[in-house]
Amino acid sequence: MTLKVYNTLTRKKEEFVPIEPGKVKMYVCGPTVYNYIHIGNGRPVIFFDVVRRYLESQNYEVNYITNFTDVDDKMIRKAEEMAVSVPELAETFIAAFLEDIQSLGVHDATLNPRVTENIQEIIDFIAALVEKDFAYEARGDVYYRTSKFTDYGKLSKQNLEELQHGIRIEVDERKENPQDFVLWKAAKPGEIYWDSPWGQGRPGWHIECSAMVRKYLGETIDIHGGGQDLTFPHHECEIAQTEAVTGHPMANYWLHNAFLNIDNEKMSKSLGNGILIRDLVKQIKPQVFRFFMLSAHYRNPLNFSDESLKQAANALERIQNAYDNMKHRLATASATGEVEAEITDKLQAISKQFVDKMNDDFNTPDAITAVFDLVAEANLYLQQERVHADAVKLYMEQLEAFDATLGILSQQADELLDEEIEQLIVERTESRKSKNWARADEIRDLLTEKGIFLEDTPQGIRWRRK
C-alpha cells in the first residue's frame, strides 16, 4: 500500500506522490517566539516530527523547514512589557523553544529561518505583488487585494461573499475590502522597523511563509502543515500570495492537526488552564507525552487529563519493559541454530501492519496496535527458558525500527532499579530450587553484566553495585 494523506485542499485522502521521486519538501509554520510553548503547541511539533521521521524511515530524503516569527505585534508588545528589545526577546524564546522540543525528542529541522533574516526576500515578494496589481499601498501600509485572486477561499472552502458577511473583520478605511490583509505595516514611532519602498515598517504575518517557502524550498512544495486554526486566514493568505506571484500551486498536500483540549475544555488564557511543556516534562517522562499525543489520530481532537496521561504511562511501560527485557535476555541468550521461520514471518506481518497504518494518513493509534502485537509476541518468546540471540535481536530491531518513527522509547542507560535486582535474585533462588540451572546462570550473568555482585551470607544473598 502506498502512502495516502488527507489533503485539506481537496478534503480527501490522496495518494502521496512527491514532486521529485525520493524527496520531500516540507514546511510547517512555526511559533511566534514571545512566550514559552504550551502542551497544545506540542501537538503539531510532535505530529509533524513523526511525519518527517516516518517519511525518512521510508527512505525519503526530507527537507524540513519550520520558521520562527521573530517580529510582529505580539513580539513588540511583549518586548515593551519585559523592557527588552525585540531581538533580545526572540533570542530568549527561540532558545527556550528549541530546548523544549528537544526535550520531547523532536529531531532538528533542516533549517529554522527567521523573519528578520528574510526581510529583503519579503520586500521583494510584496513588490512583485504590487507590480502585478495584487497589492496596493495605503499610507505606508501595503494590503493584499483579495478580490483579484479568484481562488481566495479555496483552502478553507469559503467564498468572498461568505467571508464578507460571515466574519467580523475590523473596518479599516485604508483597505479596499474588509477581508484584504496586511503585507507590510508602517512603523509607529519607537517601533522596530526596516526601510522599504513604502517607507519604514515591518512585514505582516502571512507574507513571511510565502517568502521563506519560495526561498528555501521552491515555488511548489510537497507538504505544508500546521494546526487547523492556521487553515484560515494564515494558509489561505499564503496561497493567495504565492500563487498570485508564481502561478503555481504553493503546496500539493495541506495537512492540519486538530486541537488538544484540557479536561474537555479549550485551552485558553481566560480559563488559565494552559500547561507549559517545560513544566510538564518536570513531572512526567517526555516519552509519555509523545505516546499520549500519538494515541489519537492527528485529525481528531485529543483530550489531556490526568487519566489519559496515566493510561499513556501504563501502556508505554508495557512497551518499555518488553524492550528492556529483550536487552537483558540478549546478553545471556544461549540457544543456537537458525531462527525459526515462524518468528521471521510474524515479524514481517507485524511490520507490514505498522506501515499500512502509517500509510493510511499517519494513523498512529492503529500503528501503535502493531507495536503491541510485537510486544506480545516478544514477551511470549522471552518466557522460554533458552532464547536465541538472533531471534531476540530481530524483535529488538523491529521495535527500534518502529521507534525511529514514534520516538517513545527511553534510550538512557538501562540501569537496574533496586527492586528489579531484588526480584531477579528471588527468581534466581527459585530457579535453583527447581533445578532450572540455565535460568539461574542467565540471571547471574545478567547481574554481573550490570555490575551487580552477589554474596552468599548466612543471612541469605546480599548484593552490591560495582
Sites of contact with Zn ion (CB under 5 A): 29, 209
Q: Considering CB distances under 5 to 8 angstroms, the limit depending on partner class, which of ligand AMP, Zn ion, none binds residue 372?
A: none
267 binds ligand AMP per the rule CB under 6 A: yes
User: H or E stretch including 297?
Assistant: none
Identify which of residues 29 and 382 has a Cβ nearer to ligand AMP in the complex: 29
β-pairing, 12-15 vs 4-7, is antiparallel
Identify which of residues 29 and 368 has a Cβ nearer to Zn ion in the complex: 29
For residue 457, what is the DSSP state?
A: E
Determine contact, residues 121/61, Cβ cutoff 8 Å. Answer: no
> What 3-state class would DSSP assign to 16?
coil
217: Cβ contacts below 8 Å, ≥ 6 apart: 25, 27, 63, 65
Identify which of residues 8 and 359 has a Cβ nearer to Zn ion in the complex: 8
Which single residue brings its beta carbon nearest to ligand AMP?
227
Q: Considering CB distances under 5 to 8 angstroms, the limit depending on partner class, which of Zn ion, ligand AMP, none binds residue 227?
A: ligand AMP
260 binds ligand AMP per the rule CB under 6 A: yes
Distance, in Å, from the CA atom of 191 to the CA atom of 196, rounded to the nearest integer, reads 15
User: H or E stretch including 65?
Assistant: strand 61-66
**For helices 437-449 and 306-332, angle between their N-to-C axes, nearest 10 degrees:** 110
Q: How far is the CB of 67 from ligand AMP (least distance, A)?
A: 11
Distance, in Å, from the CA atom of 73 to the CA atom of 115, rounded to the nearest integer, reads 13
Identify which of residues 204 and 226 has a Cβ nearer to ligand AMP in the complex: 226
43 binds ligand AMP per the rule CB under 6 A: yes
Distance, in Å, from the CA atom of 425 to the CA atom of 352, rounded to the nearest integer, reads 39
Q: How far is the CB of 86 from ligand AMP (least distance, A)?
A: 17
Q: Considering CB distances under 5 to 8 angstroms, the limit depending on partner class, which of Zn ion, ligand AMP, none binds residue 224?
A: none
Half-sphere exposure of 40 (CA within 13 A, CB side): 21
For residue 69, what is the DSSP state?
A: B
Closest CA to 317 of 247, 231, 409, 436: 409
Number of residues that bind ligand AMP (CB under 6 A): 15
Q: Considering CB distances under 5 to 8 angstroms, the limit depending on partner class, which of ligand AMP, Zn ion, none binds residue 229?
A: ligand AMP
Identify which of residues 61 and 265 has a Cβ nearer to ligand AMP in the complex: 265
C-alpha cell at position 366: 492503529
Q: How far is the CB of 5 from ligand AMP (least distance, A)?
A: 17
* Candidate list 226, 233, 286, 407; residue touching ligand AMP; CB under 6 A: 226
Determine contact, residues 415/362, Cβ cutoff 8 Å. Answer: no
Q: How far is the CB of 315 from ligand AMP (least distance, A)?
A: 21
Stretch that binds ligand AMP, among 19-27, 190-198, 252-260, 453-461 (CB under 6 A): 252-260
Identify which of residues 130 and 209 has a Cβ nearer to Zn ion in the complex: 209
* Candidate list 204, 227, 286, 407; residue touching ligand AMP; CB under 6 A: 227
Q: Considering CB distances under 5 to 8 angstroms, the limit depending on partner class, which of ligand AMP, Zn ion, none binds residue 407?
A: none
Q: How far is the CB of 27 from ligand AMP (least distance, A)?
A: 12
Distances (CA, A) of 356 to 176, 191, 332, 351, 453: 50, 52, 34, 9, 47
Q: How far is the CB of 267 from Zn ion (least distance, A)?
A: 21
Q: Considering CB distances under 5 to 8 angstroms, the limit depending on partner class, which of Zn ion, ligand AMP, none binds residue 440?
A: none
Identify which of residues 69 and 332 has a Cβ nearer to ligand AMP in the complex: 69
229 binds ligand AMP per the rule CB under 6 A: yes
Residue 69 β-bridge partners: 32
Distance, in Å, from the CA atom of 55 to the CA atom of 15, rounded to the nearest integer, reads 14
Q: Considering CB distances under 5 to 8 angstroms, the limit depending on partner class, which of Zn ion, ligand AMP, none binds residue 209?
A: Zn ion
Identity of the residue numbered 199: G
230 binds ligand AMP per the rule CB under 6 A: yes
> What 3-state class would DSSP assign to 259?
coil
Distance, in Å, from the CA atom of 370 to the CA atom of 358, rounded to the nearest integer, reads 11
Half-sphere exposure of 436 (CA within 13 A, CB side): 14
Distance, in Å, from the CA atom of 217 to the CA atom of 221, rounded to the nearest integer, reads 7
Identity of the residue numbered 419: E
* Candidate list 18, 40, 153, 407; residue touching ligand AMP; CB under 6 A: 40
32 binds ligand AMP per the rule CB under 6 A: yes
Instruction: Please report the beta strands in 198-352, taking only residues with DSSP state E, as ranges in sequence order.
Output: 201-203, 221-227, 251-257, 260-262, 302-304
* Candidate list 3, 7, 36, 41; residue touching ligand AMP; CB under 6 A: 41
Q: How far is the CB of 454 from ligand AMP (least distance, A)?
A: 51
29 binds ligand AMP per the rule CB under 6 A: yes
Q: How far is the CB of 230 from ligand AMP (least distance, A)?
A: 5
Chain residues that interact with ligand AMP, rule: CB under 6 A: 29, 31-32, 40-41, 43-44, 226-227, 229-230, 257, 259-260, 267
